[in-house]
Structure 1
Amino acid sequence: MLSSLREIAGRRDPVPPAVLAAARASLAWRDPDAALAELVRDSLEQELTTVRGGRPRMLTFGGAPVTITMGVTARGGVLDVVGELSPAVAARVVVEWPGGSLEARPDAEGRFRVGDVAPGPVRLRCEPAVAGAFVPVRTEWVQL
């Protein structure tokens, strides 16, 4: 009976592809040595505006050795991410989404920029440029 109900539900109300992609991508976070940076501030929750309004969506991830602040703006169907690491550390920042990833190297002040990010579920990885300088950091997935 359960298999019949599962089959009917799958035909009548299938799981949206974006939800399946996010669920699969969440399984990729299997690095027990990485610290999880949680979303502590999202301007979208404070304002009832969208990214398309011209003002960037601001997000801050904390609770890890490195705090990551980023601004997200939409441009022609893709997103531009501009961010900052605090404290400024020599690192490699990778913006990941279910269909790909892009990498940036922060400058001496900890600022980085990544363009052409696909909208949808996104997370950031921050890894030390020098092994052992700090514990690698991964943000939780966030819908952009």
Structure 2
Amino acid sequence: MPPTVPAATRASLAWRDLDAAPAEPVQDSVASRLIAVRGGGPRLLTFLGGSLTIDVQVTTRAGMVEVVGELAPALSARVVVESPDGTHETAADPQGRFKITGVTPGPVRLRCEPQDEGGFAPVRTEWVQL
């Protein structure tokens, strides 16, 4: 077994968040034939987890990824983009809007945590390749 395999396994287990509800991808513009025919443009993704919907627009600029999103229902929340290169964190405003820039392309997932008690259960998306 290559020596990097055990280290990668340990690192993957550190990313687990057992208290967060999983958010499944329900829409991805990359899978749409219409987008493929038209060519480039931002990637649109929608995740559904528990009572929370996360809509994001992903744009690549100068080799880095920008994630602009909106939570529904609209609530203030802590939003974190996790990747093997680290995390990027911001706060969604009371309308549920957020923006994170400077993300390295590759596998990422989003984690959303309510700022107010009773808002929603913490949610994390599946890993997606950006």
TM-score for both structures, normalised by structure 1: 0.76
Q: What does residue 106 of structure 1 align with?
A: 92
Deviation at 1:48, TM superposition (A): 1.9
**Quick check: 1:105–1:112 contact (8 Å CA) kept in 2?**
yes
Work out the number of aligned pairs and report it.
126
Partner of 1:130: 116
Deviates more, 1:41-50 or 1:113-122: 41-50
Between Structure 1 and Structure 2, the one with more helix by share is: 1
Q: CA deviation at 1:27?
A: 2.6
User: How far apart, in 1, do the equivalents of 2:54 and 2:14 lie?
Assistant: 20
Partner residue in 1 for 2:23: 37
Mark the CA change 1:106 to 1:24 in structure 2 (over 3 Å): closer, same or farther: same
**5+ residue gaps in structure 2?**
none
Shift of 1:29: 4.1
Does residue 93 in structure 1 map to residue 79 in structure 2?
yes
> CA RMSD of the aligned region, Å?
2.6
Classify the secondary structure of the residue corresponding to 2:30: helix
CA distance in 1, matches of 2:20, 2:59: 28
Q: Give the 3 Å change call, closer, same or farther, for CA 86–26 of structure 1 in structure 2.
A: farther
Letter in structure 1 aligned against 2:20: A
The unaligned stretches of length 5 or more in structure 1 are: 1-5
Shift of 1:131: 3.8
Q: Is 2:42–2:58's contact at 8 Å kept on the other side of the alignment?
A: yes
Which is higher, the Rg of structure 1 or of structure 2?
A: 1
Check whether the contact 1:65–1:137 (CA below 8 A) recurs between aligned residues: no
Q: TM-score with structure 2 length normalisation?
A: 0.84
Partner residue, 1:3: none
